[in-house]
Structure 1
Amino acid sequence: MSNLRFYSPVPLAIGNTTALSENAAAHAIRVMRLKAGDTLVLFSGDGFDYQCVLTDIGKKAAYVAVQSRTAVSNESPLNIRLLQGISSGDRMDYTIQKAVELGVTEIFPLTTDRSVTKLSGDRAEKRVEHWQGVAIAACEQSGRALLPLVHAPVTLTQWLGQHETQASLNILLNPVGAKRLAQLEQPSGHIHLLIGPEGGLSGNEITLATQHHFQSIVLGPRILRTETAAVTAIASMQTLWGDF
Structure 2
Amino acid sequence: MPPRFFVDLALAGQTELNLPPGAARHVQVLRLQPGSALTLFDGSGFEWQAEVKTMGRSEVTVHLQSQQLVQRELANAVTLAVVMPANDRMDGIVEKATELGAASVQPLMSERSVLRLNGERAEKKQAHWQGVAVAAAEQSGRSKVTRIAPVQTLAAWLASLPESTADQRRWLLSPTAAEPLSRLNSQAADQTLVLSGPEGGLSPAEEAAARARGFVAAQLGPRILRADTAPLAVLGWLALSER
Q: Give the equivalent residue in structure 2 for 1:206.
A: 207
- 2-11 vs 47-56, which moves further: 2-11
- 185-194 vs 221-230, which moves further: 185-194
Alpha-carbon distance in structure 2 between the residues aligned to 1:3 and 1:228: 33
Alpha-carbon distance in structure 2 between the residues aligned to 1:18 and 1:3: 18
Q: 1:111-122 maps to which residues of 2 (within 5 A)?
A: 111-122=109-120
Q: Give the equivalent residue in structure 1 for 2:8.
A: 9
Q: Give the equivalent residue in structure 2 for 1:182.
A: 182
Alpha-carbon distance in structure 2 between the residues aligned to 1:180 and 1:189: 20
Q: Give the equivalent residue in structure 1 for 2:172.
A: 172
Task: Give how far 1:164 is off.
Answer: 2.2
Consecutive unaligned residues in structure 1, runs of 5 or more: none
Q: Give the equivalent residue in structure 1 for 2:197.
A: 196
Secondary structure of 1:116's counterpart equals coil
Give the share of equivalent positions with the same residue, in percent. 37
Alpha-carbon distance in structure 2 between the residues aligned to 1:211 and 1:145: 36
Alpha-carbon distance in structure 1 between the residues aligned to 2:20 and 2:96: 23
Superimposed CA distance per residue, residues 31-64 of structure 1 (whole angstroms, 9 cap, x where no aligned partner): x211011110110011100111111111122121
Q: Give the equivalent residue in structure 1 for 2:24.
A: 25
Q: 1:1-244 maps to which residues of 2 (within 5 A)?
A: 2=1, 4-30=3-29, 32-167=30-165, 168-184=168-184, 185-240=186-241, 243-244=242-243
Superimposed CA distance per residue, residues 127-172 of structure 1 (whole angstroms, 9 cap, x where no aligned partner): 1000111111111111111222111011122112222242221111
The question of whether the paired residues in 2 share the 8 Å contact of 1:42 and 1:49 is answered with yes
Task: Give how far 1:186 is off.
Answer: 3.2
Alpha-carbon distance in structure 2 between the residues aligned to 1:5 and 1:188: 32
Alpha-carbon distance in structure 1 between the residues aligned to 2:224 and 2:19: 44
The question of whether the paired residues in 2 share the 8 Å contact of 1:28 and 1:34 is answered with yes
**Would the alpha carbon gap of residues 59 and 105 (structure 1) be closer, same or farther in structure 2, given more than 3 Å must change?**
same
Amino acid aligned to 1:121 = G
Alpha-carbon distance in structure 1 between the residues aligned to 2:87 and 2:20: 27
Query: Aligned Cα RMSD in Å?
Result: 1.5
TM-score (norm 1): 0.93
Task: Give how far 1:199 is off.
Answer: 2.8
- 115-124 vs 184-193, which moves further: 184-193
Alpha-carbon distance in structure 1 between the residues aligned to 2:235 and 2:11: 31
Alpha-carbon distance in structure 1 between the residues aligned to 2:131 and 2:43: 13
Amino acid aligned to 1:194 = L
Aligned length: 240
The question of whether the paired residues in 2 share the 8 Å contact of 1:3 and 1:141 is answered with no
The question of whether the paired residues in 2 share the 8 Å contact of 1:14 and 1:66 is answered with no
Secondary structure of 1:227's counterpart equals coil
Consecutive unaligned residues in structure 2, runs of 5 or more: none
The question of whether the paired residues in 2 share the 8 Å contact of 1:14 and 1:69 is answered with no
The question of whether the paired residues in 2 share the 8 Å contact of 1:78 and 1:190 is answered with yes
